[in-house]
Structure 1
């Protein structure tokens, strides 16, 4: 990917659920100096056994503090957009039962597969959680 040549390092990748019968999607987080880059990709073909991905949207994200992190869709949901994958900038805080819950969520985005974009959403109703068994 061309981003690696620009001094960005891949931090994580997430496979996303697309529309039934449609192409596969993924979101990849890159660290580019002090900023994060979130890239939405669609599978556009195959080269042998390897999928070929095309970038369809991306966001540059600045964290408000070193304790804030990009929280992944496998842990986050939105009561306003219950069927969409949700990314959030916030902090995870340990709870008395050993689980973690989001605290101080300052920004959130949903993956809008229909329009193939990352869309900002209100942070109220966004919850990220990690159970002790996870």
Structure 2
């Protein structure tokens, strides 16, 4: 059971973002191919008076991508999303996963949304902490791009369940 806790914890960490999942999937630029599916998604905080942003992990066969989107309009009650940037994710092992900004931070970019490619490992106190982070990206709002950042100083953590 404890082997599955990182995956369950990751899903639970996305619940606030998932509350907007039906809205985030309103209308979007089409996925790159028919065999592509959205694995996960998260809302990204932005400037209060600016547009809404979201990121999604897209799987096309064996290929994974991190896609940055901006809300460009409305279609009735559903937002319309446009893809701004995309990075291809290569997992060095099956245990590596895309770690979301809900539980990742960088000492170099403390106030920005940070994504990381690494593994979550259970700690003795029942919490989880990132290990073997091999790549990381930040959301560059000025350029509306995902920018690669150094992995030193990137930490992803999740409190243990009581």
Please tell me the TM-score bracket, short chain as reference: over 0.9
Spell out, residue by residue over 1:96-119, the C-alpha distance to the aligned partner (whole angstroms, 9 max, x if none). Answer: 000000000000000011110000
Higher helix share: 2
SS in structure 1 opposite 2:31? helix
Cα RMSD, aligned residues only: 1.3
The answer to whether the 8 Å contact 2:126/2:161 transfers is: no
What's 2:106 paired with? 78
- How many aligned residue pairs are there? 134
Deviation sequence 1:2-43 (CA, Å, 0-9, x none): 216431111001000111200000001011222211110000
Q: TM-score, normalised by structure 1?
A: 0.95
Does residue 79 of structure 2 align to residue 51 of structure 1?
yes
Structure 2: tracts of 5 or more residues without a match: 1-28
Give TM-score, length-normalised by structure 2. Answer: 0.79
Specify the alignment match of 1:63 in structure 2. 91
After TM superposition, the runs of 4+ consecutive aligned structure 1 residues lying more than 2 A away are: none
Residue 133 of structure 1 deviates from its aligned partner by 3.5
Distance 2:62 2:157 in 1: 25
Deviation at 1:132, TM superposition (A): 1.4
Question: Once the 2 structures are TM-superposed, how far is the Cα of residue 73 of structure 1 from its aligned partner?
Answer: 0.5
Per-residue CA deviations over 1:40-75 (Å, capped at 9, x if unaligned) read: 000001010000001110111110000100000001
SS at match of 1:3: coil
1:119 aligns with 2:147: yes
Is 2:62 the counterpart of 1:34? yes
1:98 corresponds to: 126
Unaligned runs of 5+ in 1: none
